[in-house]
Amino acid sequence: MIYLKDLLPEIEFASQEEFQAYDAKHKMRPTTKVKIAGKDTTAGDAAGATKKPKKKFPPKPGIDIPYKKDSIQATQGAQKGPQSPEDAIGTDPAKERAIIAGIKDLVKTGKDVDLCSVSVPGSNLFCGGNKGIPRKEMPQLKSKPIPGGPADKLVKQGKLQMDDGGEVNTEELFLKSIGKEAKVERVNVSNLKATQNQIDGPKVSLFLNQLLNGSPDDGFTKALNEPIIVSEDGYVVDGHHRWAALVAYDISNGGSGDVEMNVKRVEMGIEPLIQKSNDFTKKMGLEVKTAGKKK
């Protein structure tokens, strides 16, 4: 049997643009045969090719998205933690997978969790062996200047630069004030130790999401990978949340401790270094931060 549609002549167009103009005016049936730039197709398929792709929105913090080749994940699809003891940071891969799932969920759920209450079996993470110092008593070498204070005056004099978040970086001024030079080293993040006894879980969740899904060329990602100051015995002085996010990233990629970061190691033990940096923070007039409610 011969159908009428088989007898209809094929309509030919020199380009996709020419087809679009004709179709917009005549509203062709989807089954109508057409030839565009020498290629046989139908009006329906050709019209579908001209539709604008749906707008892609950035991933929500704490929610997995498919692996992208330009992300800084260590291995494809490695976002859920170690699958075997060999790939674990500590000794319990199942516990580490559960920890990572929980951390990634914090921003989405809005839960206020102190990561110092979370332990990774077989390691000192996140806060095993910390010095027991509350976050509010820790120095803030990168912070907002208190109006009228020395740091605020240096900003107004153009001697200190304020970032988009209203914070200034006084690390170099601090090192100069104590007569020390920091030796830049690249170390494994899981070998460093927390000094303070509070770490804001949702903040780390936000940072982890950026490390997993953000482009390495993004300013936010670059900021998360900036060096932090540590003592000669490997304790974090300033930058606990960036460090904790990199530790979580280290666990999530299942690489058995393969994530490193640059640190500025000061030849001084953690106790005197904290005392001197706290004195400097107060002297410069820099705001201190709290970790919120501890749950």
**Digit-coded pLDDT (tens) for 225-249:** 899 999 999 999 989 999 999 999 9
pLDDT of the chain, 295 residues: tens digit per residue = 444 444 445 788 888 888 888 888 878 888 888 888 888 888 888 877 544 444 343 333 333 334 344 444 434 445 788 888 888 888 999 999 999 999 988 988 878 899 999 999 998 899 999 999 998 888 889 899 999 999 999 999 999 999 888 999 999 999 999 999 888 999 999 999 999 999 999 999 999 988 888 888 888 888 898 999 999 999 999 899 999 999 999 998 876 677 899 999 999 999 999 999 999 999 999 988 654 444 3
pTM above 0.85, yes or no: no
* Vertex 192: Cα angle to 76 and 285 (nearest 5): 110
Contact present, 200 and 291 (Cβ < 8 Å): yes
Cβ contacts of residue 32 below 8 Å, gap of 6+? Answer: 8, 11, 42, 43
Q: Using the Cα atoms of residue 138, residue 139, residue 140 and residue 145 in order, give the sign of their dihedral.
A: positive
Q: To the nearest 10°, the Cα dihedral for 52, 57, 58, 64?
A: -100
